Amino acid sequence: MLLERVDNPGKLRFDVPYQMAMILTKINRFVKEGKIAIVARRCDEKAIAELVKRDLLDGSRLELIGLACSAEQVEACRCTDPCPSRVDIGQPSEPVKDDQNFAGMLDMSLEDRLDFWINQFRKCNKCFGCTLNCPVCFCDECLLEEKTFAPDKGIPPGLTFHLIRTVHLADKCVECGECERSCPVDIPLLSLRKMVNRDMKKMFNYVSGDPERMSPLLTTLEGDPMEDDPNVC
């Protein structure tokens, strides 16, 4: 809902389960001038930072109203970073210490892990819910709808589909969990994202959503590689 004047702020609901960044990109198309205030949770804020980095949003035209998520919300999202940089609404809740939902996956043997994921991905009916609801997925048409990388256009779409989405999100996923929430067949996508984000941190000390880290890492010269053994980083 886009309000130009707020007469009775008490009536507003702030627990909309949508990703504000995604909504902003849509608003951006027709609201060309003036400043937009937006109620933003921590994940909204980070997603907005990723879009600002890519010049898809104009940061100077945004005013973020920080919304702290409730303890239940934090729990539901297994969120490790729930508190916005400025809290205007709500009370900050303790983050989940360390989301270990994926720990079991990493403990599996490679063979079992592959089995696990193949069985998960076999459920995929290619509804594109994960991409359509993702706040940092910004293409209008998705390359995954084409044949180039997924040779059988059928359903389920095969492994490549999911791997490509994973790598595309590697330097921008803010762990909002929207993909997993919107998946009708319950593929544990957030766990996959979190595992990769941990790798990004370990390999390049990169954390998505950090406005200080200005460059989308995989395209720029940040985090200079090692000469001797390219596989160590």
Residues in touch with other proteins (CB under 8 A): 54-56, 105, 108, 110-118, 121-122, 138-143, 146, 148-149, 151-152, 154, 156-160, 162-164, 166-168, 170, 192, 195-196, 199-200, 203-204, 215-221, 223-227, 230-231, 233
Q: Which is nearer to other proteins, 113 or 181 (CB)?
A: 113
Closest approach of other proteins to the CB of residue 205, in Å:
12
Q: Which is nearer to other proteins, 7 or 141 (CB)?
A: 141
Closest approach of other proteins to the CB of residue 40, in Å:
21
Token pair recorded at residue 111 = 């063979």
From the list 160, 173, 99, the residue with the least C-alpha distance to 133 is 173
Q: Which is nearer to other proteins, 10 or 154 (CB)?
A: 154
Closest approach of other proteins to the CB of residue 219, in Å:
4
Residue/partner pairs of 24-28 with CB below 8 Å, 24 or more apart: 24/48, 24/51, 24/57, 24/62, 25/51, 25/56, 25/57, 25/138, 27/2, 28/56, 28/57, 28/58
Q: Which is nearer to other proteins, 82 or 157 (CB)?
A: 157
Q: Which is nearer to other proteins, 163 or 207 (CB)?
A: 163
The residue whose two tokens read 């990723």 is 50
- Cα separation of 76 and 70, whole Å? 10
Closest approach of other proteins to the CB of residue 135, in Å:
13
Closest approach of other proteins to the CB of residue 31, in Å:
13
Closest approach of other proteins to the CB of residue 123, in Å:
11
From the list 41, 44, 31, the residue with the least C-alpha distance to 3 is 31
Q: Which is nearer to other proteins, 58 or 75 (CB)?
A: 58
Q: Cα torsion for 54, 56, 57, 60, to the nearest 10°?
A: 50
